[in-house]
Structure 1
């Protein structure tokens, strides 16, 4: 089943208003570090509407299927922080008939926003002084209390952070497709599933470059992948992290790429130049080999194929029996209690069941199938043909031989049993 976007976010032609969705998602995540996982999944759903199922979402988001299941809500409800609406969590089963894919969508608050003028909330009004870059948003609050767009102001971020956020939202408002040309480059590099935003480190997932992590991706989204100069306090307000958390984040980014973060002094204050655009956009250090930036997804795709092979194997008779009797089955004890092995079972089979190795059980069953040979498509002919009597032509003056009575004919019990078996086989073939 396909993932789909909230119908309230579609224009008259039926297309999803992606830029407005991106702006809304970023706005709702300001100062809320706890929402980064839901934000990433929602971002994936909106930018990759063709992605489906738990493993597909995990692969494209750059995480595990366990994290996806823990992040989404229950059937027919929203997630913990309201970014995702779950139609169904899906059902995992060794048999194809019982499987059900996960279906989620971004839970938009568009019904409470004026979508056609959402960007003016984040820009200063002409002729108004002292209002600040979020002046229109503040004026809008007086008219529409409770609007979700108020998340920017309620975050209580500094003026410098507000300026960076406004510029970032303006950039997001222009991103309507992923591409390697023009503005689509920004959306391409903001894909949360790329290896540069991964949490893992080392060679396990064949990461092309030292990963920057989820917090760096969150900051890149809020700033629109623009070059910004911010203090630790500014980043605290934008991401909702503690001072120590921001320091750890900056240290990780600087270690991954010394060109990305530069510490500068401004009066008595230390600021940090974060050069997202210079490093990540076209011509930057991380833009080179952009087509290979999905190494995390490629590694997970290989694991997904292995899982799919296991599912296909379990869909066969021997594979399903091996799964039921193996330790991979969480209900193995219950199944063995309800279906105990016979007292005269083959000792080799009993040993395999006790060990619980699914592949060994499957190989044993397939070997037995090979030794038994294929099932014949049609019954074989009787090995002993039935003798037929040819009637002799009566000649004048010569008596005709008497026919032997059927009652006097003797048929062996073995032949009768074989004939019955043949009749039954043809009847139920």
Structure 2
């Protein structure tokens, strides 16, 4: 049984293209019309029509070498994942390609939901828990967030939470950071002795005479 990609090649381009691809192990090859006739057993007229069909479907590129014509068969380009025609040509129709795309999407989803913002967005978007999540929101909750939860768009909620995290900044690991920032923003100033005496009197602190 042919692998899916080779099966597609045969279905899309015909048995002769499939046989040539097998013969040359899926590698790009340059052939003349006479070569095609010899390898397929076709007469001149059918071989010419077949080459014309393959050219229109981009499997074959025609090149003139002097007075003769050479045909570049792009088997590697179409069949190999490293080939320039694989993506969007035959590769995107294979079960393997679909599984790869699905797997990458699942990994990205799992990685997103593994973050605090992703976990909250996932829970808020889940139809089973969304109503309970809405009921638990305080009356003065952010209206933008409430609307996002009502709509149940997990990706939009995640983006909103990530944006809020970026604006809020991370919590420093030590108070020393906040002390330094406070000193820069509001530098300490010397208090007038008279003002200090008044403040102490208000607090009931005896001011030494």
State the TM-score, normalized to the length of structure 2.
0.46
TM-score of the superposed pair, with normalisation by structure 1: 0.24
